[in-house]
Structure 1
Amino acid sequence: MIRPVLALLLLSVPPAFAQAPNSPPPVVGLARVELRPVTESADYVGRIQAKDRVDITARISAYLETRLFIEGAEVVPGAPLYRLERAPFEAALDQQNAAVAQAQARADQAEVAFARVEALQGTAAALRSAFDDNRANRLAALAALKAARAQARLAQINLDYTEIGAPIGGKIGRATVSAGNVVGPASGPLTAIFSQDPMQVVFPIPVRALLTLEQRHSATGIFGAVQIRIRLPDGRLYEHPGRIDYKDPSVAANTDTIVLRATIPNPPLRIAAPNEPMERALIDGAFVRVSIEGLTPVVMTTVPRQAILTDVQGNYVWVINAENKAERRPVQLGQSTAQLAVIASGLTEGETVVVDGLQRVRPGIVVNPASITPPLVVTPATTTGR
């Protein structure tokens, strides 16, 4: 008799999730599914890089006499950086100038001789061979003069190379070679200059995310429809926004990402004293967090974030129908914040979802909607990619 009694007892126990027949409906708080303008934002990892970088290299082999800059300072285009030994190149220029003078004298002599022979043409004293010889001598002398002038010009260029100046403005790095060494084209860079304002930030973005952005902003294009904001390595939000100006023409096959580049201002943090390095927030090579933000809000389906629940099957909400019955509804989330969830699919405007008393809701039970939460005052809402 023990087994039948146990069976009867087990059959009489109600299911764990069933609503007791005489218990009142659980009280829950509701919120309406709404359409609202949302300014989207998606985060990526990027790297700061100078818009221009120039390695300073000696164009000639010579003795390095003087370094003329302060390491880490900002220089303007044309600022003197190094001075190389000039004496050998001055002597070479003098030698070539003398060669030009000699060639000029020979050319003048050949010109006079040719003019004399040319004047005799048509007379009995004229000789065709003499005319041809003098014309050839004249042309050879003029060619020699041209070659001498070219050599003198080359000597002047080499002399000018003894003064090394800044080809661009920006912050100059440390000197890799000290005065007293012999430097040349094979010596490698003497230093480098990095442009400072504006700077660039490059960052990879998944191809799917880029296609979504391009589709959403197809009318204007993403270059004109979004801006970027960055967080510095210490977590601070950088105050100046930037704009995307370049997209790589190919996708990285191993990561399925494409690189975007944005330009962003980098003004001085303060006015530096003379001979003091200028301080700026953005540094070439630094890693930053990059947020792509839409300039124009997009109307999207939203619910309060607390309505979203998650289990092994994914994200879902409790929808309350016209009979106050609870329905489990799977949803796909878009970009969201701690207060607001953007619904990509699963809900429509005007439906009601549970936001309070979620632990008391089970599929199919009748609930007692105590109140409907007023809409969040967010104008517009800013969402972050999750």
Structure 2
Amino acid sequence: MNYETTTIAGERHALTGPEAPRSRRRAVIVGIIVVVLVMIGAWWAFGKGKSDGAATKAAATAPASALPKVTVVVPGRETVTRTVTGTGSLAARREMPVGVVGEGGLVTRVLVEPGSWVAAGQVLASVDRSVQAQTAESLAAQVRVARADARIAQTELDRSNQLVGRGFVSKADLDRKTATRDSANARVRVAEAQLAETQARNRRLDIRAPAAGLVLTRAVEPGQVVGSGSGVLFRIAMGGQMEMRAQLSEADLASVRAGVPAEVVPVGGTRVFKGEVWQVSPIIDPQTRQGIARIALKYDPALRPGGFASARVGAGASTAPLLPESAVLSDDKGSYVYVIDAQNKAVRRDVRVAEVSDEGALIGSGLIGDERVVASAGAFLNPGQQVVPVRAAARKE
């Protein structure tokens, strides 16, 4: 009995010694750690999923004011007249160089100045014809002699015809007189032809206008000796008609046709002259890769041949969506726009731009015309981004 009592007392002494509080604290700390780990595990298993769902739901039900607003346009389909531009020089539509037609000689008079209007056949300059006039007078005298001989031969033939019935003139004499009369008439025709030739040569000494028109240049003065090798003495614009020879690129020239309207503005002025293309060059310069469209213009003193001018030429009309230039973006893949779909999300749409003008960008393909297209700030959007579309105001015509 005493032994057991002693043993129990010894155990109580051991539990109530200095190490007892330290063991209790350790057990509490371990318990707290276990509880925290259990709570973390429970939150991870159940709380995170609920939080993510709530966040997603909150984002989906976010107010519209939190989304970016973009201006959209519905382009529709418009008929746009395509124009091409070019530069070139003014010239006479039909320029007639005038030179010496005959044998030439000493110029005695020049009757016109540059800028003068002349009629067809009008004398522009005269060449001395003193020698040629004497030749013509000599031939005229020969014609008169030949006609006198022909009259005598005809008289003798008539007399012989009266006497042949009485037997005073033989049939052979009558035939000879008939031949003499015919020969005299032939000499008359030869002399007349020679006179006419000389007169024609003399008339060619006058330098005349081949057609009515406007004198552009004059390169002859009185006292100058001219001949067949003297070159061009006058240049005349037939009817005063002018033209502009517009240089166009190979691609632009392919869309231009004869008869389309054009507008020409000479350099140094603001006045616009209306005309139309009357001829399109059938060839392309292999060096510049350009061709010429010839634009017919009515005469006006402000249109001076040799001057420089710019032109706008109609190249046909096309019906397609027309967008502001700010709506069309481009990258290494090409041109594109952002279209807002039914869920108000931005969707990239590749397009082909047919032409860019002052009116905007004409879309050749990629759009129908009823889409909602972002008019500007498309560069700040991402595909699939939610936006608030705002319809642009209608354009004022």
Assess same fold via TM > 0.5.
yes
Q: Retained in 2: the 8 A contact 1:26–1:361?
A: no
State the structure with bigger RCO (CA 8 A, min sep 6), 1 or 2: 1
**1:231 and 2:265 equivalent?**
yes
Q: Equivalent of 1:291, from 309, 312, 316?
A: 312
Aligned pairs for 1:199-278 within 5 A: 199-203=242-246, 223=259, 226-234=260-268, 236-247=269-280, 250-252=282-284, 254=286, 259-267=292-300
- SS for the counterpart of 2:347 is strand
User: Alpha-carbon deviation of 1:54?
Assistant: 2.2
Q: Deviations over 1:194-250 (max 9, x none)?
A: 347431234465676566567xxxxxxx62xx311123234x4542211233445x4
- SS for the counterpart of 1:173 is strand
Rounded to whole Å, the distance in 2 between the matches of 1:251 and 1:367 is 53
Q: Retained in 2: the 8 A contact 1:48–1:200?
A: yes
User: Alpha carbons of 1:143 and 1:346: their partners in 2 closer, same or farther (altered >3 Å)?
Assistant: same
Counterpart amino acid of residue 109 in structure 2 = T
Structure (1 or 2) with the greater helix fraction: 2
Aligned pairs for 1:32-181 within 5 A: 32-58=74-100, 59-70=102-113, 72-77=114-119, 80-121=123-164, 124-167=167-210, 168-175=212-219, 177-181=220-224
Provide the TM-score with structure 2 as the length reference. Answer: 0.73
Rounded to whole Å, the distance in 2 between the matches of 1:206 and 1:115 is 83
Q: Equivalent of 1:363, from 377, 383, 386?
A: 383
- SS for the counterpart of 1:333 is strand
Q: Which of these two proteins has the greater Rg computed from alpha carbons?
A: 2
Q: Retained in 1: the 8 A contact 2:110–2:126?
A: yes
Q: In the alignment, what sits opposite 2:31?
A: none
RMSD, matched Cα:
3.1
User: Alpha-carbon deviation of 1:355?
Assistant: 1.7
User: Alpha-carbon deviation of 1:299?
Assistant: 3.8
Q: Equivalent of 2:373, from 350, 353, 356?
A: 353
User: Alpha carbons of 1:253 and 1:201: their partners in 2 closer, same or farther (altered >3 Å)?
Assistant: closer
Q: Deviations over 1:41-82 (max 9, x none)?
A: 122344432123222222232211233333x33232255432
User: Alpha-carbon deviation of 1:253?
Assistant: 8.1
Counterpart amino acid of residue 26 in structure 1 = P
Q: In the alignment, what sits opposite 1:312?
A: 332
User: Alpha carbons of 1:186 and 1:116: their partners in 2 closer, same or farther (altered >3 Å)?
Assistant: farther
Q: In the alignment, what sits opposite 1:302?
A: 322
Provide the TM-score with structure 1 as the length reference. Answer: 0.74
Q: Deviations over 1:170-200 (max 9, x none)?
A: 033132x433232122222223223474312
Rounded to whole Å, the distance in 1 between the matches of 2:276 and 2:201 is 43
Rounded to whole Å, the distance in 1 between the matches of 2:162 and 2:152 is 16
Q: Retained in 2: the 8 A contact 1:75–1:166?
A: no
Rounded to whole Å, the distance in 1 between the matches of 2:348 and 2:140 is 94
**1:375 and 2:390 equivalent?**
no
Q: Retained in 2: the 8 A contact 1:41–1:291?
A: yes
Rounded to whole Å, the distance in 2 between the matches of 1:251 and 1:240 is 27
User: Alpha-carbon deviation of 1:351?
Assistant: 0.4
User: Alpha-carbon deviation of 1:111?
Assistant: 1.5
User: Alpha-carbon deviation of 1:27?
Assistant: 2.7
Q: In the alignment, what sits opposite 2:70?
A: 28
Q: In the alignment, what sits opposite 1:15?
A: none
- SS for the counterpart of 1:185 is coil
Rounded to whole Å, the distance in 1 between the matches of 2:344 and 2:361 is 23
Q: Retained in 2: the 8 A contact 1:169–1:195?
A: yes
Question: Percent identical across equivalent pairs?
Answer: 25
User: Alpha carbons of 1:26 and 1:121: their partners in 2 closer, same or farther (altered >3 Å)?
Assistant: farther
